[in-house]
Amino acid sequence: MGLYSEYHRLQDEVIERAAPYPAHRFQGRGIVTCAGGPRFFTCAWVLVRVLRDVLKTALPIQVWHRGATEIDPLMRALLERHNVEVVDAGAIESSRPPSHRWALKPFAILHSRFQEVLSLDADNVPAIDPARLFEAAPYRETGAIFWPDLKPIPAESPIWEVCRVPYRDEASFESGQIVLDKARCWKALLLTMHMNECAGFYYQYVNGDKDTFHMAWRMLGQPYSMAPHPPRLMLARRADPLFAYVGPVMGQRDFDGRVILQHRNWPKFILFGKNPRYPGFAHEAKCFEFLDELARLWNGRVSALELRPPEEYSSNPAARWFRYVRVSDHERMLEFLPDQRIGYGSSDRERRWRVIPEGATSVLEILGDEFVTCRLTRQEDGVWRGRWLRYERDPVELIPWHA
């Protein structure tokens, strides 16, 4: 038995048992994006407003998420004002929503009501109405367009053996944008979904969902068109010493070499914090107008999100638990231990804590491996508030948790 024989068997089962394309389920063309949680919702808001108000696209738009803890009724209503269909992956009959966030993309493509899909990451801002991509000759020829990433999959990567694909010196896929016709690519899409359902295994060897598309198409010999130009990199206007890394934005190009898609990988748009600017970024001023508008309509929180300490960590009576909120980014539980370490929920940005007297008050500092991440002061309602000192400098709330 080979090292990956069990996964080879599962691959073969998916391929052999693939049901025919269900033509009755899908029709038309549309845009699909995934946007669960505050940060991705903020990006999706910008994307939708650019598509609808700047580029005037007539294509239907679906925004997918994984339940009420990612998009609440207000967030849904804000999107629906702009003729957007908001889809909860958990409501899809006879299908289990993917556990990993990256796996939601192939799931949404597969289950969207459209036959022809333009998948856009929420942090990807088109420069032109992307509807024209469905009319491109390469798409009509193969039924799929992919765009190149910065680096190919290396020859020594185990994924070639895992997927039984002979090594190819070719561009890997950057899946921030995909155009495909499900009728022509159905089996390859099912195989992609299978690999993402087994994310715990495949993601050891690939960088998220993007390479699963690449491998599935090659495993089946499925034709596709690859945009022939490498991405044009856009650099931030000024280097910010408080950002460890800024950009670049990946400007993906059409078959004539024009930048038509602007993938803002990192830092993504944030509602309440610092957003770097990029010279040459199309519609950037409008993007920031839309962010300002959203800040007047929404507080950056998912109202339905309920957090509590995991049961296996709740046995230490000396530990204190807090709900750690990076407003408009994310929320999670942190365990503050008596020895000034942070237990559950810690990361390289939140590793230790200390309280420092300052005059008549005290300041709570949360420290990472290399620097003080944030400084918080206790307010009358018992919540510690402040702001990150680096990167986006987004607001922070540390809310005591009581059983």
Alpha helices in 144-206 (DSSP H): 159-162, 182-197, 199-202
pLDDT given at position 239: 67
Residue 305 lies in a domain: no
Residue 287 lies in a domain: yes
Q: Tell me: do 106 and 212 sit in the same domain.
A: yes
pLDDT given at position 238: 74
pLDDT given at position 95: 75
Task: Give the residue, 306 or 313, on which the prediction is more confident.
Answer: 306
Do 147 and 177 contact (CB within 8 A), yes or no? yes
Q: What is the pLDDT of residues 34-76, one digit of tens each?
A: 999 999 999 999 999 999 999 999 999 999 999 999 999 999 9
What is the pTM assigned to this prediction?
A: 0.96
Residue 303 lies in a domain: no
Q: Tell me: do 247 and 318 sit in the same domain.
A: no
pLDDT given at position 230: 97
pLDDT confidence tier of residue 312, bands split at 50, 70 and 90: confident
Q: What is the pLDDT of residues 8-37, one digit of tens each?
A: 999 999 999 999 999 999 999 999 999 999
279 has a pLDDT exceeding 90: yes
pLDDT given at position 98: 83
3-state secondary structure the chain: CCCCHHHHHHHHHHHHCCCCCCHHHCCCEEEEEECCCHHHHHHHHHHHHHHHHHCCCCCCEEEEECCCCCCCHHHHHHHHCCCEEEEEHHHCCCCCCCCCHHHHHHHHHHHCCCCEEEEECCCEEECCCHHHHHHCHHHHHHCEEECECCCCCCCCCCHHHHCCCCCCCCCCECCCEEEEEHHHHHHHHHHHHHHHHCHHHHCCCCCCCHHHHHHHHHHCCCCCEECCCCCEEECCCCCCCCCCCCCCEEEEECCCCCEEEEECCCCCCCCCCCCCCCCCCCCHHHHHHHHHHHHHHCCCCCCCCCCCCCHHHCCCCCCEEEEEEECCCEEEEEEECCCCEECCCCECCECEEEEEEECCEEEEEEECCCCEEEEEEECCCCCEEEEECCCCCCEEEEEECCC
295 has a pLDDT exceeding 70: yes
Q: Tell me: do 57 and 188 sit in the same domain.
A: yes
Q: What is the pLDDT of residues 184-234, one digit of tens each?
A: 999 999 999 999 999 999 999 999 999 999 999 999 999 999 999 999 999
Q: What is the pLDDT of residues 142-181, one digit of tens each?
A: 999 999 999 999 999 999 999 999 999 999 999 999 999 9
Residue 16 lies in a domain: yes
244 has a pLDDT exceeding 80: no
Task: Give the residue, 119 or 207, on which the prediction is more confident.
Answer: 119
Q: Which helix (H) or strand (E) holds 349?
A: none
pLDDT given at position 242: 77
- Domain of 43, CATH number, reads 3.90.550.10
Give percent of the chain above pLDDT 90: 89
- Domain of 242 in residue numbering reads as 5-297
Q: Tell me: do 274 and 340 sit in the same domain.
A: no
Q: Tell me: do 22 and 65 sit in the same domain.
A: yes
Give percent of the chain above pLDDT 70: 99
Mean pLDDT of the chain: 95
1 has a pLDDT exceeding 90: no
pLDDT confidence tier of residue 96, bands split at 50, 70 and 90: confident
Task: Give the residue, 88 or 317, on which the prediction is more confident.
Answer: 88
Q: Tell me: do 162 and 262 sit in the same domain.
A: yes
Q: Tell me: do 265 and 198 sit in the same domain.
A: yes
What strands, in cross-sheet order, belong to the sheet with 124-126?
Answer: 124-126, 259-263, 249-253, 232-234
Residue 154 lies in a domain: yes
Number of domains into which the chain is organized: 2
Q: Tell me: do 66 and 139 sit in the same domain.
A: yes
Q: Tell me: do 319 and 247 sit in the same domain.
A: no
Q: What is the mean pLDDT of residues 94-111?
A: 89
